[in-house]
Structure 1
């Protein structure tokens, strides 16, 4: 009883000061676009394609693959709300390679929206039918993106998502991964999608997932975003089997945390689109490891930038982020 009273006093004394160093609750946004992408996204939502076309061309020509992945994903999401800008772009430049990539992304997003992100047992046959029809339509579009944009890893990353949706054979997935790695050996987005294919909740197992992750990060520079992948795998395991995720192989978990921390430290000045998800993952995993001081450091660094992954696995992403943030503050304040 006295411990509980003492903890309550500590929380009342130190909690407000700790909370003051965090972004206000009402400033927190999930998956906010990068600053550099905002003008292009806003123009697209108003039907104008030129800013996005110019920016996408720049990322391709300069092989800025991390920025390109973010931009394609963000513009694809915006196109779910307002696809008219793509039609205007298609009328003006039907063979533009960047148009082909964004159009592919949109079809893949539309397919997953039709399916919903629920577990297979909770998806209706009508939803599955629409999902597979749209994915079939996406096949030719993705091939067109591959043909129009040689040397671009983004179409191959989309091909991997496409393969997962169509339940393609493992050797087909492997072929896509190897081609992706020939273009960009440490491409985070495409490789993380391949990891999903091999996760227990899809077509693999924890063992297959971890083995693939070990291969994927082998030799990667400390500042490459692929260093987040072991942390992604721990989170997938945690979501599927929470009783074993952190205890089955503690060294593996520690390596994942170490890699994630080293990655964000090596990219301290990078845009939040490259580091926020890693920091959000660190918060969740470090919380479960009872390493509350380290979790709090990540919360201070991430500011208002919550991410759908990992929080969306357990409910509304924003609310989950805020809930865990409060828990971390309380634990740190009380020295739990």
Structure 2
């Protein structure tokens, strides 16, 4: 992937990461939304449909694009309008359901959970090999506090279709974590169970780093002496070995090939600066090239300001 750049770029929030075509679509949607006359819904829908028709069997790339579009359109009428026009279009069904899931993040309540679920089931029946409808169903099950057995059944459906699906592994990690149905110990056990089988450059490789961040932020949130000593966790033998491997391999242009690799590099840059490994963080910031993700930088404040301060320290 084209990570490296010859100059430091001004930091900007880039949900599209390094997907140039997705960035162009988002730009068109912003500009047409401002300048197009009323009743131009068909124009917007056609742009989205044409874009999502590309490379239909690349489930990793499609999941990234659907996720970004769902967040971008979570307050828009466009996903629902597309489904109304094409009620059996798989991409329309998934995008509409995913957008509704994103819209519910704040309130933690789906407006019509049964309808959202039904659209996912229809999409799954129309495209049986596609893991994306099941990924959305996993998000719905988490949101609605479904029975654990049901959650794991959905999880099994995803990994049967895409063994190392990034979004699914991160979703399960947080489901098993202390903020939802489990505990920090359960989240750690989940990741430990993967390490002997998961390829080091798998699309879901960031789950190992995410669980270290979960433990770090849990210690900081408890306050007192634990918060003061939270940084020490980065120097434990297992965590230090992981950071050694990641800082050596992850920034290499040919190491990762999945769509959200830049997001993983943001996680790594944050972790390395939190651990005081500024020299190791420098090439990671270079690989990021100013494409900032909200998480994990927003855990410390304004994500752009925190990112730029950390990058300047690494220089």
What's the TM-score bracket when you normalise by the shorter of the two chains? 0.7 to 0.9
Q: Give the corresponding residue for 2:218.
A: 240
User: What is the distance in 2 between the residues matched to 1:95 and 1:235?
Assistant: 40
Q: What corresponds to 1:4 in structure 2?
A: none
| Separation of aligned partners in 1, 2:116 and 2:232 | 38
Structure number with bigger Rg = 1
Contact 1:73 1:105 in 2 (8 A): yes
Which residue of structure 1 lines up, in the alignment, with residue 311 of structure 2? 325
Match of 1:291 among 268, 274, 277: 277
Displacement of 1:246: 4.9
Q: Give 1:219's aligned residue.
A: 197
Please tell me whether the aligned partners of residues 272 and 281 of structure 2 are also in contact (alpha carbons under 8 angstroms): yes
What are the equivalent positions in structure 2 for 1:163-182 lying under 5 Å apart? Answer: 163-182=141-160
Deviations 1:5-36 (A, max 9, x none): xxxxxxxxxxxxxxx95323xx4224245212
Shift of 1:136: 4.6
Q: Establish whether residue 110 from structure 1 lines up as the match of residue 94 from structure 2.
A: no
CA distance in 2, matches of 1:53, 1:307: 26
- Give yes or no for contact 2:135–2:168 (8 Å, CA) kept in 1: yes
Say which of 70, 77, 81 aligns to 1:83: 77
Which residue in 2 is equivalent to 1:275? Answer: 261
**How many correspondences in the alignment?**
289
Q: What is the CA deviation profile of residues 57-108 of structure 1, one whole-angstrom value per residue up to 9, with x for unaligned ones?
A: 3333x2x122111110121122224333651x33442201111110110110
The answer to whether the 8 Å contact 2:45/2:78 transfers is: no
Deviation at 1:155, TM superposition (A): 1.3
1:260 to 1:162, Cα distance in 2 relative to 1, 3 A: farther
1:314 offset after TM fit, Å? Answer: 2.8
Q: Give the aligned partner of residue 300 of structure 2.
A: 314
- Does structure 1 conserve the Cα–Cα contact (< 8 Å) formed by 2:165 and 2:204? yes
Segments of 5+ residues of structure 1 without an aligned counterpart are: 1-19, 116-130, 330-336
1:253 alignment partner, SS class: helix
Which residue is 2:171 aligned to?
A: 193
Work out the CA distance in 2 between the residues paired with 1:215 and 1:39.
40
Following the alignment from structure 1 to structure 2, what is the Cα–Cα distance between the partners of residues 274 and 132?
A: 26
Equivalent residue number for residue 98 of structure 1: 91
**Distance in structure 1 (CA, Å) of the matches to 2:246 and 2:47:** 33
Q: Distance in 2 between matches of 1:183 and 1:109?
A: 23
* Aligned-partner Cα distance in 2 for 1:263–1:73: 23
* 1:58 match: secondary structure: coil
Report how far residue 52 of structure 1 moved. Answer: 2.5
Determine which structure has greater relative contact order: mean sequence separation of CA pairs < 8 Å that are 6+ residues apart, divided by chain length.
2
Q: Which runs of 4+ in 1 moved over 4 A?
A: 42-45, 268-271
Tell me which residue corresponds to 2:117: 139
Question: Taking structure 1 as reference, are residues 259 and 319 closer, same or farther at Cα in structure 2, changes over 3 Å only?
Answer: same
Q: Distance in 2 between matches of 1:280 and 1:311?
A: 8
Mark the CA change 1:293 to 1:263 in structure 2 (over 3 Å): closer, same or farther.
closer
**1:230 maps to what in 2?**
208
What is the TM-score normalised by the length of structure 2?
0.81
C-alpha contact 1:104 1:158 (8 A) present in aligned 2: yes
TM-score (norm 1): 0.76
Greater CA drift, 65-74 or 89-98: 89-98
Is 2:52 the partner of 1:59?
A: no
Alpha carbons 2:251, 2:283 under 8 Å: kept? no
Q: Which residue of 2 aligns with 1:6?
A: none
- What is the match of residue 126 of structure 1? none
Q: Report the Cα offset of residue 306 of structure 1.
A: 0.8
